[in-house]
């Protein structure tokens, strides 16, 4: 059986990178896999979250999943904290993963910054919880953006060590699914930085709830270089901002970078940016509007999350129980 699991943190400002790197791929995988998509609120609180905003952001991510086209009846959408197996299995994995492995995680280093002593312990063991998310469902494939690759390798290491230590073939080695032309969308203000929810500049990212005016303004202000667009993909390598905008266009228009360049080679940025704006508004506008519509009825979103959690729990709980038996926890 092929089963997908993936998660998105409810930390506000869902953006184009989340959409092109992850959520859009979630939608496309629905035809071929059984899919479980999770709003990872336990992960969110590894850095401070205002409780009221956390609730709103949780509903917002669920709304984004559905607005993008995920069918919550055929597949599962839920929030992580509603299914206890995630936290319980994560504890077991805290005892499987080695400190040396966690010390290599680049995302912890980035997020903890200089003041590492002051980072939460949760932020440090964050990848163990992520492994628990995936393995509690025996998921075989995990669609993510490029930035999560290292965490998925750790999940494989954890599965392998657990199986080895206890002499079982219990947890699968999960395959990452990183595909499309925009697996790493960069900031619109700086082509060397990832587009991120936490960037203080609103102009660095296009949010999924931005209206047409905001999208137009942000693309108009996006950093570029003074040259016209090149003819070949190889020439984009030394031009990170151009590469990023071409990649976004390619992803949104479902073409390769080469195909987009064939259309815009030699064009000034102004003309290309206008075309990109029209495209982005056409593709993202309906999603943003549908998100707003769904979020206006929080009771309905909650109902869907509750139903999803019930179905997720039915899969995860037996896996957790088996893992506990393997470890030797007595259930008299």
Q: CB 231 → ligand TYM: shortest distance, Å?
A: 26
Q: CB 73 → ligand TYM: shortest distance, Å?
A: 22
Contacts of residue 85, defined as CB under 8 A and 6 or more positions apart, other chains included, come to: 132, 136, 313, 316, 317, 319, 320
Q: Which of 277, 279, 272, 203 is nearest to 236 (CA)?
A: 272
Query: Can you tell me which of 12, 145, 191, 288 binds ligand TYM, judged by CB under 6 A?
Result: 145
- Which of 190/300 has CB closer to ligand TYM? 190
What's the burial of 292, exposed, middle or buried (CB within 10 Å: 0-12/13-18/19+)? Answer: middle
Verify whether residue 194 is a known catalytic residue.
Answer: yes
Query: Can you tell me which of 22, 27, 188, 219 binds ligand TYM, judged by CB under 6 A?
Result: 22
Query: Can you tell me which of 8, 229, 251, 295 binds ligand TYM, judged by CB under 6 A?
Result: 8
Residues 187 and 195 sit within 8 Å (Cβ to Cβ): yes
d(CA 2, CA 66): 22
- Which of 21/288 has CB closer to ligand TYM? 21
d(CA 135, CA 233): 38
40 binds ligand TYM (CB under 6 A): yes
Verify whether residue 273 is a known catalytic residue.
Answer: no
Query: Can you tell me which of 3, 75, 138, 194 binds ligand TYM, judged by CB under 6 A?
Result: 194
Verify whether residue 193 is a known catalytic residue.
Answer: no
Residues 143 and 177 sit within 8 Å (Cβ to Cβ): yes
* SS3 at position 180: coil
Contacts with ligand TYM by CB under 6 A lie at: 5-9, 17-18, 21-22, 40, 43, 130, 133-134, 142, 144-145, 147-148, 151, 183-185, 194-195
Residues taking part in catalysis = 111, 194, 197
């Amino acid at each position: 059986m092929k089963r997908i699991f993936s998660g998105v943190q409810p930390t506000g400002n869902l953006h184009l990178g989340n959409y092109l790197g992850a959520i859009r791929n979630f939608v496309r995988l629905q035809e071929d896999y059984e899919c479980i998509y999770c709003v990872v609120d336990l992960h969110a609180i590894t850095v401070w979250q205002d409780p009221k905003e956390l609730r709103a952001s949780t509903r917002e991510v669920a709304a984004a999943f559905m607005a993008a086209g995920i069918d919550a009846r055929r597949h599962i959408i839920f929030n992580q904290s509603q299914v206890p197996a995630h936290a319980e299995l994560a504890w077991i994995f805290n005892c499987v993963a080695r400190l040396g492995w966690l010390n290599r995680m680049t995302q912890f280093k980035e997020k903890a910054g200089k003041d590492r002593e002051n980072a939460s312990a949760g932020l440090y063991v964050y990848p163990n919880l992520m492994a628990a998310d995936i393995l509690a469902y025996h998921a075989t494939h995990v669609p993510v953006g490029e930035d999560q690759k290292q965490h998925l390798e750790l999940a494989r290491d954890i599965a392998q060590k657990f199986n080895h230590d206890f002499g079982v073939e219990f947890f699968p080695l999960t395959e990452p699914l990183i595909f499309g032309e925009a697996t790493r969308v960069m900031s619109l203000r700086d082509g060397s930085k990832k587009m991120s929810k936490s960037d203080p500049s609103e102009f660095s990212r296009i949010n999924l709830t931005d209206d047409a005016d905001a999208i137009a303004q942000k693309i108009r202000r996006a950093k570029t270089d003074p040259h016209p667009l090149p003819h070949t993909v190889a020439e984009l390598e030394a031009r990170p901002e151009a590469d990023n905008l071409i990649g976004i266009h390619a992803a949104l228009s479902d073409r390769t970078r080469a195909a987009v360049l064939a259309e815009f080679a030699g064009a000034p940025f102004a003309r290309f940016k206008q075309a990109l704006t029209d495209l982005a508004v056409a593709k993202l506008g309906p999603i943003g509007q549908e998100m707003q519509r769904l979020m206006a009825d929080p009771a309905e979103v909650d109902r869907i999350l509750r139903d999803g959690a019930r179905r997720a729990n039915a899969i995860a709980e037996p896996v957790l129980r088996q893992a506990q038996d393997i470890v030797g926890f007595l259930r008299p």
